[in-house]
Structure 1
């Protein structure tokens, strides 16, 4: 009984596949999108110029990090006056 339960658990774990990781690091505003056999993002740049230096001569493109670029700025608290 125990062996069959462990076998079922092992098969279910193997069938689940790898966990998805977050593509963009939310702490940096610019990402380097690298193309090729392994396409990936490197989100570790603070400016487009810094990213462009790294992308120079490579099959890569600098893009804005959507997690930083589309972040909403929290609205300031407004005190309502009753007149």
Structure 2
């Protein structure tokens, strides 16, 4: 009789431990990673437990690299950076068209 009570108590404790574990995992908040499109460089910093934080507030590689000193972090190119300058090369003509000046 006493072993049946002990087994029930163990089963109850085990079930409570599982329920508590599931609740703790389900309640943990999810953080959204926001990329600021105004800055070209992001800093990704790792935290305890494997999560990481991305901060896109750096205007240059040098500023980002100086912020990573002593941290488990690295600098990244901001994938959502809106480049405002359009200077540079112009489009080449399509391969099948001829330039009129070469004739």
TM bracket (short chain)? 0.5 to 0.7
Normalising by the residue count of structure 2, what TM-score does the alignment of the two structures yield? 0.45
Instruction: Find the partner of 1:29 among 40, 54, 75.
Output: 40
State the alpha-carbon separation in 2 of the partners of residues 54 and 73 from structure 1. Answer: 26
RMSD over aligned CA atoms reads 2.8
Q: What secondary structure sits across from 1:24 in the alignment?
A: coil
Normalising by the residue count of structure 1, what TM-score does the alignment of the two structures yield? 0.55
State the alpha-carbon separation in 1 of the partners of residues 41 and 70 from structure 2. Answer: 18
Q: Looking at both structures, which has the greater relative contact order when contacts are Cα pairs under 8 Å and sequence separation is at least 6?
A: 1
Is the CA contact (8 Å cut-off) linking 2:33 and 2:53 kept in structure 1?
Answer: no
Structure 1: any 5+ residue segments left out of the alignment? 1-17, 75-83
Count the aligned residue pairs. Answer: 56
Shift of residue 22, structure 1, vs aligned partner: 5.1
Shift of residue 36, structure 1, vs aligned partner: 2.0
Shift of residue 23, structure 1, vs aligned partner: 2.1
1:31-61 superposed Cα distances (whole Å, 9 cap, x missing partner): 0000122411011000000000000110000
Structure 2: any 5+ residue segments left out of the alignment? 1-28, 87-103
Report the equivalent of 1:43: 56
Q: Decide whether aligned partners of structure 1 residues 19 and 58 sit closer, same or farther in structure 2, where only a CA change above 3 A counts.
A: closer
Report the equivalent of 2:13: none
**Structure of greater Rg:** 2
